[in-house]
Amino acid sequence: MTAPIESSPTLPTAADVEAAARRLRGVALRTPLLASPVLDARTGGRMFLKAETLQRTGSFKFRGAYNKISSLPAESRAGGVVAYSSGNHAQGVAAAAKLLDMPAVIVMPSDAPRPKRERTAELGAEVVLYDREHEDREAIAREIAARRHATLVPPYDDPLIIAGQGTAGREIVEDLAAMGLEPDVVAVTASGGGLTAGVALAVKAKCPRARIYTAEPQGFDDHARSFKSGRRETNPSVTGSICDALLARMPGEMTFAINRTLVGEGVSVSDAEVAAAVAFAFRELKLVVEPGGAVALAALLAGKIDVRGKIAVAVLSGGNVDPELFHRLVA
């Protein structure tokens, strides 16, 4: 099943990423770019990992959420914000709204990891649960936003969200440049494609020869299939992977318009390969990475992307993992 690319709003640019960086300065954390000699030996390249697991709320999602919400005019803030998310965007929106003293309602799947639901509520947001398989989260969120005169904060298909996520890519380029290096390869986990689009805008503006790859769970490789067909492809299911953060039904309209031009290449990994990457990050890097956040690393460890003799970066996009699942993956 495919979906056509419809006319879309003005797409964000690298200049919008620069504006987002100014807006986020002193608010979002500048996360480290980590080297790993063990990973170098495993892959044959010079590897770096962008540890967005250490970002506020434990994922890159805070960047886009704060960039979007802080840009709202004063007259639009009274009604607050509404978002729909399996957990990381939920926490990013909740945290940004709290910092900006605005109410937030988050529509979350009832099967979202318990820590993500609890953390979202602890950040002051009202959590509304829905059935992932039988209900439309976006329709629920839009109804709530209309009723409360609130602003809808989408998880990826928004210029300000994409630009905010792109600040992670901007930091990758700057930190490598400080070492006298440029990336040959950047692998990014992909769900709706907002992180990939933002990173691609930032990286390609400074390093046009770099190759950007999406990394997705097997069975949810809608980006990889969409790049091949030239149209937004849908996934046959919305459940069935340990990577709960990466189960969007199809690439975003706006994100795909960017990614099919700047990226155009995607790989997928099995749950077993993701589990091995989660365990690797814990044992070798002493990092807690959720399954969805480890997919780009899994792609490198499994040899899905050829990085021999190259400078490569994998984005570790989130670390909000259920403790029981984490124990099973690393034990």
Reported as a single tens digit per residue, the pLDDT across 163-209 is 999 999 999 999 999 999 999 999 999 999 999 999 999 999 999 99
Same domain, yes or no: 19 and 75: no
Is the domain of 195 the same as that of 299? yes
Q: What is the per-residue pLDDT for 5? A: 36
Has residue 102 got a pLDDT over 80? yes
- On whether both 79 and 50 belong to a single domain, the answer is no
User: What is the rounded distance in angstroms from the CA atom of residue 107 to the CA atom of residue 87?
Assistant: 9
Per-residue pLDDT band for 9 (boundaries 50, 70, 90) equals low
| Spatial distance between the Cα atoms of 251 and 253, rounded to a whole number of angstroms | 6
Q: Looking at the structure, do residues 141 and 231 belong to the same domain, yes or no?
A: no
Neighbours of 150 (CB within 10 A): 22
Q: Do 135 and 172 belong together in one domain?
A: no
| 74 and 192 co-located in one domain | no
Whether 193 and 315 share a structural domain: yes
Alpha-carbon gap, residue 72 to 225, rounded angstroms: 35
**25 φ/ψ angles, rounded to the nearest 5 degrees:** -60, 125
Domain final residue, candidates 124, 152, 180: 152
Tell me what the mean pLDDT of segment 321-329 comes to: 94
User: Distance between CA atoms of 304 and 275, rounded to whole angstroms?
Assistant: 15
Domain membership of residue 119 as a residue range: 62-152
Last residue within a domain, chosen from 152, 182, 198: 152
| Whether 293 and 305 share a structural domain | yes
Q: Are 47 and 39 in contact (CB under 8 A)?
A: yes
Give the span between the Cα atoms of 150 and 144, in whole angstroms. 8
Q: Which residues contact 51 (CB under 8 A, 6 or more apart)?
A: 31, 32, 33, 34, 287, 316
Query: Domain count of the chain?
Result: 2
**What is the Cα–Cα distance from 212 to 223, expressed in whole angstroms?**
12
22: Cα separation from own chain's centroid: 20
In DSSP terms, 81 is beta-bridged to: 104, 151
CA distance 154 to 67: 12
pLDDT band at 8 (very low <50, low <70, confident <90, very high): very low
Asked whether residue 42 falls in the same domain as residue 79, the answer is no
d(CA 248, CA 246): 6
Cα atoms in the Cβ-side hemisphere of radius 13 Å centred on 123: 31
Please provide the average confidence, as pLDDT, over all residues in the chain.
95
pLDDT of residue 2: 38
On whether both 144 and 291 belong to a single domain, the answer is no
Domain boundary among 152, 171, 194: 152
Element (H, E) at 3: strand 2-3
Q: Give the CATH number for residue 134.
A: 3.40.50.1100
- If you average pLDDT over residues 247-259, what whole number do you get? 96
Indicate whether 6 and 141 sit together in one domain. no
CA distance 291 to 209: 29
Does 243 have pLDDT greater than 70?
yes
Strands 46-51 and 311-316: parallel
Q: Tokens 């649960």 belong to which residue? A: 129
Strand order of the sheet with strand 81-84?
126-130, 104-109, 81-84, 151-152
pLDDT at 112: 85
Count CA atoms within 13 Å of residue 138 on its CB side.
6
Name 221's Cβ contacts closer than 8 Å, sequence gap at least 6: 235, 266, 267, 268
Residue 54 has pLDDT above 90, yes or no: yes
Per residue in 77-111, is it b (16+ CB within 10 Å) or e — as a string? beebbbbbbbbbbbbbbbbbbebeebbbbbbbbee
What per-residue confidence (pLDDT) applies to 115? 84
Cα dist from 93 to 9, 57, 87, whole Å: 22, 10, 10
Q: Are residues 287 and 139 in the same domain?
A: no
